[in-house]
Amino acid sequence: MKYKLIILFSFIYLNAFSQLPDGFVYVKDVIPDLDVELRYFGSNNFVGKPINGYNTNKLIVTEQTAIALKLVHEELQNHNLCLKVYDGYRPQKAVNHFVEWARDLGDTINKQNYYPNVKKIHLFDEGYIASKSGHSRGSTVDLTIIDGNTGIPLDMGSTYDFFGQESWVEYQNISDSQKANRQLLQEIMLKHGFRNYPKEWWHFTLRGEPFPNTYFDFSIE
């Protein structure tokens, strides 16, 4: 407990010199060797272009989330594995961008890669796009596990952000090794205080998150 308090106070000190709201940190200040690839900063995502509010490839989360992620990352490193994070804090303006994109039924440039079996008109009804996201509260992360030597992600049976049953945690029509990789990710995240979203194997939210009812909109700078 004393160790965690020392880390927390050091994060607060670092944050005093940043532009982040109180309670948020740049994760690289906490886990310098973390592999971060914010998919919405570039074009490798279901929209096919950078998303509003993602102005740099810097992962931001709440202080408590960063502490928990550090514990996950360190335990994985004992097995020559590491975390790779695709998304953390997400501005509300980015969520609004997704909503606008989903309403443009003619824009299906990445349909084959991300939602081949779902009609775009049904993305709202089936829960893939919503007007609010837990990511905007700052304690939700999208991530996977990578090989510590090669940096290659473990095979989870579907790509990140794939809209379909193949991404559900309990999806059975995948190989035993893919199931084992998903189970490893689920177990280690749950061990360190995260709860999963059953329809996305990569999606986790910190239990007891500090801002459960607040949706932030500051840009990622």
- Calculate Rg over the CA atoms of the chain: 17
Say what the pLDDT of residue 107 is: 95
Convert the pLDDT of each residue in 165-193 to its tens digit.
999 999 999 999 999 999 999 999 999 99
Nearest to 54 by CA among 5, 17, 90, 106: 90
pLDDT in tens, 197-211: 999 999 999 999 999
Phi-psi region of 206 (alpha: psi -120 to 50; beta: other; left: phi over 0): beta
pLDDT at 206: 98
* Beta bridge pairs of residue 180: none
Residue 5 has pLDDT above 60, yes or no: no
DSSP state, residue 34: -
Q: Where does the pLDDT of residue 133 fall: very low under 50, low under 70, confident under 90, or very high at 90 and above? A: very high
Q: Has 221 been annotated as catalytic?
A: no
Closest CA to 47 of 92, 97, 122: 97
Distance CA 93, CA 7 (A): 31
Task: Report the alpha-carbon distance of residue 90 to residue 135 in Å, rounded.
Answer: 5
Res. 124 pLDDT band, cuts 50 70 90: very high
Q: pTM for this one?
A: 0.90
- Percentage with pLDDT > 70 across the chain: 92
Number of Cβ within 10 Å of residue 48's Cβ equals 15
Q: What is the pLDDT of residue 14?
A: 47
Length of the chain: 221
State the pLDDT at residue 118. Answer: 95
Residue 145 has pLDDT above 80, yes or no: yes
Q: Which helix (H) or strand (E) holds 143?
A: strand 140-147
> What is the average pLDDT score of the chain?
93
Residue 197 confidence (pLDDT): 96
Given this model, what pLDDT does residue 144 score?
98
pLDDT 10s digits, 72-101: 999 999 999 999 999 999 999 999 999 999
How many C-beta atoms lie closer than 10 Å to residue 155's C-beta? 14
Q: Answer yes or no: is pLDDT of 13 > 50.
A: no
Options 63, 126, 187, 200, the catalytic residue: 200
Average pLDDT over residues 158-166: 97
pLDDT at 19: 83
Over the stretch 38-64, which tens digit does the pLDDT of each residue have?
999 999 999 999 999 999 999 999 999
